[in-house]
């Protein structure tokens, strides 16, 4: 789930505070384990293999920190850059990071996925989880993620599958201009069109995950 939408975040006020609580609660984890598929464990395994305990990771559409906090705990050294537009969610993330002793490993960025306020080639991994289906132009968001990624760095994207009943339910609940859930083939094509190499996709129950690598500099 993400708060990213143009021109501003939909996850504000009471809605933002409630979703900020839910998205970092045990109920979110339970819904993955029982229904959606445990994509977070898959993402963490990819991150551990790529970073080997240190590095800089960008979490796009981080919300209240469901992925950011878990990744920060797994790092021996390094930094998680948690990007979102919702101030309510980011405030909950700040509070959770401080409570868990992770404030020094997490930097919060209030920014759009379409205009990431980071330098080119500045992060080792960029992830987006449950984000792209809510965007009208996920290819533009991915372009920004690739821009800030160092050569040889990894992109990891998870989202709802288009060919399951949950995916169809998600699609019907969103605006017509939003992309909606992805088939594995669509996600693969998105990553390839962004110029990524070694692209692979896999299905995790009602979710699909894609991984790609930015080309090394010549």
Domain ranges of the chain: 13-213
Q: How far is CA 196 from CA 38, 141, 156, 165, 210, in A?
A: 25, 14, 11, 30, 11
Query: 154 with 125: CB under 8 angstroms?
Result: yes
Residue 52: predicted pLDDT: 82
Here the tokens at position 180 are 């909606």
Shortest CA distance to 48 belongs to which of 77, 71, 78, 80?
71
Q: 13-213, superfamily in CATH?
A: Vaccinia Virus protein VP39 (3.40.50.150)
Per-residue pLDDT reduced to its tens digit, 77-123? 889 999 999 888 899 999 999 999 999 999 999 999 999 999 999 99
pTM of the predicted model as reported, rounded to 2 decimal places: 0.86
Q: How far is CA 175 from CA 64, 104, 157, 178, in A?
A: 23, 37, 21, 5
Q: Could you write out the three-class secondary structure of 9-20?
A: CCCCHHHHHHHH
CA distance 122 to 212: 17
Per-residue pLDDT reduced to its tens digit, 136-177? 999 999 999 999 999 999 999 999 999 998 888 887 877 778
Least confident among 22-26, 72-76, 198-202: 22-26
């Amino acid at each position: 789930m993400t708060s990213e939408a143009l021109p501003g975040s939909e996850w504000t006020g009471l809605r933002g505070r409630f979703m900020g609580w839910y998205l970092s609660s045990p109920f979110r984890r339970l819904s993955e384990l029982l229904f959606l598929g445990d994509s977070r464990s898959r993402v963490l395994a990819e991150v551990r293999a790529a970073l080997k305990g240190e590095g800089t990771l960008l979490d796009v559409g981080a919300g209240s920190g469901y992925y950011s906090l878990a990744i920060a705990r797994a790092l021996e050294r390094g930094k998680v850059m948690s990007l979102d537009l919702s101030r309510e969610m980011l405030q909950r993330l700040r509070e959770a990071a401080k409570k868990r002793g992770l404030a020094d490993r997490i930097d919060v960025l209030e920014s759009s996925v379409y205009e990431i306020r980071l330098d080119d080639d500045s992060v080792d991994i960029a992830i987006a989880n449950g984000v792209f289906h809510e965007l009208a132009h996920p290819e533009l968001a991915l372009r920004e993620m690739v821009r800030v990624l160092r050569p040889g760095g990894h992109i990891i994207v998870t989202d709802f599958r288009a060919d399951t009943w949950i995916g169809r339910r998600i699609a019907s609940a969103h605006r017509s201009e939003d992309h909606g859930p992805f088939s594995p083939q669509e996600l693969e094509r998105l990553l390839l069109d962004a110029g990524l190499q070694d692209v692979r996709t896999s299905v995790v129950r009602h979710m699909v995950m894609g991984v790609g690598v930015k080309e090394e500099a010549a």
